[in-house]
Structure 1
Amino acid sequence: MRVKENIRITDPDCKDTVIHMTLEPLRGKLPSFRPGQYVRIGIPKLKEPAPGYFAIASCPDEPEGYEFFVKNAGPLSAYLCDIEAGALLEVEGPMGKGFDLTPFKGADVYLIGVGTGIAPLRSLWHSIIRHREAFGKVTIYAGFLTEMHQLLTEELGELSRHNIEVSITLEMGHESWDGPIGYVQHALKADAPDGTNAVACLAGMSPMVDACTETLQNLGFNDDCILLNH
């Protein structure tokens, strides 16, 4: 596949670099995929840096290309953060089970992730928007280290137009921040969503997923209503 666009989306003063990378097929159409799935990306003719796995951040109903959020946190991601439009990459997939909400029509939906872990959730909320009438209440719980690390501020702010609520938690707040401070599981516990007719989709680091899973179980969510994308 070919790099169509590569744009930094973290604040220029933020020490962490996250880019929004879009890939387009050289020919033909993209294979179909489910929200939450991921692909394996490698560099043609190079064994190092080794290939890695990245969740698709775009919607299956938008087949022009794949979108990803890449944080500069290792050799491959550093390479991708500096890559220029027109460069070629090897892409294998899609892989993973993704998020299948087919059995949960009419249910409330909770999307929970932190940092670049919101990438597979973005794929899902774009899909939900296209079928919004099929679900009840939809709420996104997103967590970031600081306000400077926050991703997709404008996009998340506009989701209310689609009757989607958004809760942003900062691990490190400041005097003018009036949202939750701490971890997303704390915001979940404080809001205490009703798990009677609901499904939760989690994406991110294992400690966060484990903590949120325990919180959801304590709130009455059944295990088969707590979904992971892998």
Structure 2
Amino acid sequence: MRVKENILITDPDCNDTVVHLSLEPLRGKLSTFLPGQYVRIGIPKVNEPAPGFFAIASSPDEPESFEFFVKNAGPLSAYLCGVKPGTILEVEGPMGKGFDLSPFKGNDVYLVGVGTGIAPLRSVWHNIIRHRDDYGKVVIYAGFLTEMHQLLTEELAELARHDIEVSITLEIGHESWDGPIGYVQHALMADAPDGTHAVACLAGMSAMVDACTETLQNLGFNESRILLNH
């Protein structure tokens, strides 16, 4: 695949670098996929850095390109954060089970993720927007280290137009921050969503996923209604 765009989406003064990377097919169309699936990206004819896995942040209904959020956290991601449009990359997939919401039409949907873990959830909410009448209440719980580390600020703020609620939790708040402070599982527990007719999609670090799974189970979510994308 070919790099279409590579755009910095974190504040230049932030100590984390995250880019919005778009890849387009060299010919033909993109492979079909489920929201939440991921691909394996590598550098052609290069063994090091080794290929890595990245969740697709765009919707299956957006056929022009695959989109990703890439954080500079290692040799491959450092290369991808600096890659120029037109560069050719090896892409395998999509793979993984993704988030299949087809059995849950009519249910409420809770999307829970932290940092770049919101990438596969973005694929889900873009898909939900196109099929909004298929679902009940939709709420996104997103967590970031600080306000400077927050991603997609404008996009998340616009989701109210689609009757999608957004809760942002900062691990480290400040005097003017009036949202939740701590971890996303704390915000979940405080809001206590009803799991009777609801499904939750979790994405992020394993410790966060484990903590949120326990929280949701304590709130009455059946294990079959807590979805992971891998």
Normalised to the residue count of structure 2, the TM-score between the two structures is 1.00
Name 2:35's counterpart in structure 1: 35
Code of the aligned partner of 2:187: A
Distance across 2 between alignment mates of 1:223 and 1:59: 26
Distance across 2 between alignment mates of 1:49 and 1:8: 22
Report the identity percentage: 83
The alpha-carbon deviation at position 110 of structure 1 amounts to: 0.0
* Cα deviations by residue, 1:144-192 (Å, 9 ceiling, x for unpaired): 0000000000000000000000000000000000000000000000000
Name 1:172's counterpart in structure 2: 172
- What SS does the aligned partner of 1:28 have? coil
Q: Within the alignment, does 1:10 sit opposite 2:10 as a pair?
A: yes
Task: Spell out the pairing of 1:146-165 with structure 2 (5 A cutoff).
Answer: 146-165=146-165
Code of the aligned partner of 2:213: T
Name 1:118's counterpart in structure 2: 118
Distance across 1 between alignment mates of 2:217 and 2:4: 42
Code of the aligned partner of 1:226: I
Q: How many residues matched?
A: 230
Moved segments of 4+, more than 4 Å: none
* Cα deviations by residue, 1:112-150 (Å, 9 ceiling, x for unpaired): 000000000000000000000000000000000000000
- What SS does the aligned partner of 1:19 have? strand
Task: Spell out the pairing of 1:1-230 with structure 2 (5 A cutoff).
Answer: 1-230=1-230
Normalised to the residue count of structure 1, the TM-score between the two structures is 1.00
Distance across 2 between alignment mates of 1:105 and 1:93: 27
CA RMSD, Structure 1 to Structure 2 (Å)? 0.3
Gaps of 5+ in 1: none
- What SS does the aligned partner of 1:200 have? strand
Code of the aligned partner of 2:11: D
Code of the aligned partner of 1:15: N
